[in-house]
Structure 1
């Protein structure tokens, strides 16, 4: 891991700018943006169409090479939406494209490069049509694995996990693991077990903020403005 040479005051200013950017440039494009959100590199989040809503304490992570794209192209007037619940995690490269309606419930995690769509986007014979469209529902506390594809009409049940690279064309029941192409249930989860969700991570936001601040200060302790500028202009091996 490359060391962060920024002084704490610079890192704090950067984090404030990220929040300002998300609130000022992305917020007006959204039907709703809940409080407590965290956008990492929000300038790499692309929004198109409406309505798109994001709940409280969402964590959205984008990178230059793996932008996040949330798009609504309704196949009929009054249809098409993307609704993301509270405490959700959206990782780099995620694409969500809606013509009929996509709902992601609270505490869901969507891993790197996953794609969720509720439409074929072209007909088999009529290549200028939307093709078949059916809403998609991702249940509470579901986990969509790296590079998985969730297709039209699918429901992912509460607490279920979709394995990396899976292509899901049929609904997945609650409390199970589905994997493969096409995805099939490969493991049952014990619904009697206690699930620790992202909501618990954010149960005391003020305390969490203080802990992150203390961690940042400890990690960046000793960094100076001069040292940071030297690293930017004249990076050395081992930096």
Structure 2
């Protein structure tokens, strides 16, 4: 389809279904999760294991064929943890898998296909065991990870830093920098004094934000009829 042909009530019905699915099937998968949880295609999100927490306004977006997976694994006397701050955005296809501890700071954004792991999962010579091939991962506040970025064990990414698309991060990235490449290296420094807008700014007035989104949906879907929507499903044309 070239556009959304659903009438506004159908869109609202789908939004309600997503919220109900999220509350019934996903929320119990968190040890704790703050208010404002927003999940797109929650049936394409997998939470596995104990120790997963998230703060307020966690936006988790999956899409058909792009599963989002957040998982922790128990090994001997150790259980992985994933701690996610406030106002974090995770995009389709992202996987976050923990053997010991992954911390994601508030206002961080992840583009599609990001992979974060705090373990190699197998020893170099003993492919049947993890041994000591694990170390905590720390991602600072207001970081931005580009499409298909990979973050490996023991890495710390500083506040406000940006990781370029397709980068493989194997060493620490300082705050207020842009890192890119394989392995990722700092390619530019950012001005720490420059004014910034963070995702937290979007949620200063949650009720106004909800009204604005609703008005935008009404505008974008104006003129859509049930007949056009059904026809676009069974007999789409270039107008759809």
TM-score grouping bracket, smaller chain normalisation = over 0.9
The Cα RMSD (Å) is 1.2
SS of aligned partner of 1:19: helix
- Structure 1 runs of 4+ aligned residues shifted over 2 Å read 74-79
| Runs of 5+ unmatched residues, structure 1 | none
CA contact (8 A) 1:75 1:100 kept: no
1:100-136, Cα deviation, whole Å (9 max, x unpaired): 1100010000111110000000001111112411000
Taking the aligned partners of 2:107 and 2:180, their CA distance within structure 1 comes to 21
Displacement after TM superposition at 1:74 (Å): 3.0
Normalising to structure 1: TM-score of the pair?
A: 0.97
Taking the aligned partners of 1:146 and 1:237, their CA distance within structure 2 comes to 30
Taking the aligned partners of 1:34 and 1:121, their CA distance within structure 2 comes to 30
* Residue aligning to 1:140: 141
Taking the aligned partners of 1:34 and 1:20, their CA distance within structure 2 comes to 16
* Residue aligning to 1:162: 163
* Residue aligning to 1:74: 74
SS of aligned partner of 1:178: strand
- The answer to whether residue 51 in structure 2 is matched with residue 51 in structure 1 is yes
CA contact (8 A) 1:44 1:62 kept: yes
CA contact (8 A) 1:74 1:98 kept: no
Displacement after TM superposition at 1:30 (Å): 1.0
Taking the aligned partners of 2:108 and 2:194, their CA distance within structure 1 comes to 18
Taking the aligned partners of 1:79 and 1:14, their CA distance within structure 2 comes to 36
| Runs of 5+ unmatched residues, structure 2 | none
Taking the aligned partners of 2:110 and 2:201, their CA distance within structure 1 comes to 18
Displacement after TM superposition at 1:53 (Å): 1.1
Displacement after TM superposition at 1:229 (Å): 1.3
- The answer to whether residue 179 in structure 2 is matched with residue 178 in structure 1 is yes
CA contact (8 A) 2:78 2:100 kept: no
Taking the aligned partners of 2:35 and 2:188, their CA distance within structure 1 comes to 36
Displacement after TM superposition at 1:186 (Å): 0.7
Displacement after TM superposition at 1:227 (Å): 2.0
* Residue aligning to 2:227: 226
Taking the aligned partners of 1:149 and 1:118, their CA distance within structure 2 comes to 11
